[in-house]
């Protein structure tokens, strides 16, 4: 995907931030596309500078994690014949990439990625703040507003996605066993 003037829209970046191992991460595949370099070139640069990428900055996905992620996102263009699973970079790891990838494009994209991480952090913080304020108001007011507070909590809760039933239901006449 090619973007105008080397800047990537923040919405595009936010869609490529995943939650793995209790961390917000970006995959090497996506970063390579955003930086407009081949994934192998990105990984080579990282491997040449491994001392800059401790385990809390970067980790390689297990094949199970990668399979699960592909099935959740429903993207078949990832992979094909891959020798290894992609790497996941935390926010600090993405920031460290800017020190080893020195192209103008890499710098511009890195700035946009950092803005996306900050924006996500602010959204999560405001959600926590809203829940705290709601609890405070609930303690302050009596039971007459309980219905209102319950409705607000339901709106704030993440929607439950119903599980799809697998299989089919055959509609047949009931067999008359033992009847003559």
d(CA 53, CA 125): 27
Average confidence (pLDDT) over 84-98: 88
**Mean pLDDT, all residues of the chain:** 78
Average confidence (pLDDT) over 87-106: 84
pLDDT of 98 > 70? The answer is yes
Instruction: Give residue 88's pLDDT band: very low, low, confident or very high (50, 70, 90).
Output: very high
The architecture of the domain spanning 4-124 is Roll (3.10)
d(CA 61, CA 17): 14
Instruction: Give residue 6's pLDDT band: very low, low, confident or very high (50, 70, 90).
Output: very low
d(CA 7, CA 109): 6
Q: How many CA atoms lie within 13 A of 100 on its CB side?
A: 18
d(CA 82, CA 117): 28
Q: C-alpha distances in angstroms, 174 versus 167, 177, 180?
A: 20, 9, 15
Instruction: Give residue 82's pLDDT band: very low, low, confident or very high (50, 70, 90).
Output: low
Report pLDDT digits (tens) over 133-165: 777 776 666 665 666 667 777 777 766 666 777
Question: Domain ranges in the chain?
Answer: 4-124, 125-156
59-96 b/e (C-beta count within 10 Å ≥ 16 → b): bebeeebbeebeeeeeeeeeeeeeeebbbbbbbebbeb
Length reported for the chain: 180
Report pLDDT digits (tens) over 43-69: 999 999 999 999 999 999 998 888 888
């Amino acid at each position: 995907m090619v973007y105008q003037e080397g800047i990537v829209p923040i919405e595009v970046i936010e869609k490529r931030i995943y939650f793995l191992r209790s961390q917000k991460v970006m995959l090497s595949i996506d970063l390579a596309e955003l930086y407009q370099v081949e994934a192998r070139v990105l990984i080579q640069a990282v491997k040449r500078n491994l001392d800059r990428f401790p385990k809390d900055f970067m980790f390689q996905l297990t094949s199970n994690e990668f399979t699960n992620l592909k099935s959740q996102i429903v993207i078949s263009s990832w992979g094909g014949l891959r020798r290894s699973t992609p790497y996941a970079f935390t926010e600090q790891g993405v920031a460290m990439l800017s020190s080893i990838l020195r192209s103008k494009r890499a710098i511009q994209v890195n700035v946009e990625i950092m803005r996306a991480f900050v924006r996500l952090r602010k959204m999560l913080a405001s959600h926590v703040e809203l829940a705290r304020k709601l609890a405070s108001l609930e303690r302050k007011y009596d039971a007459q507003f309980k219905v209102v507070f319950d409705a607000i909590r339901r709106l704030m809760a993440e929607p439950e996605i119903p599980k799809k039933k697998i299989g089919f239901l055959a509609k047949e006449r009931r067999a008359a066993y033992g009847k003559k």
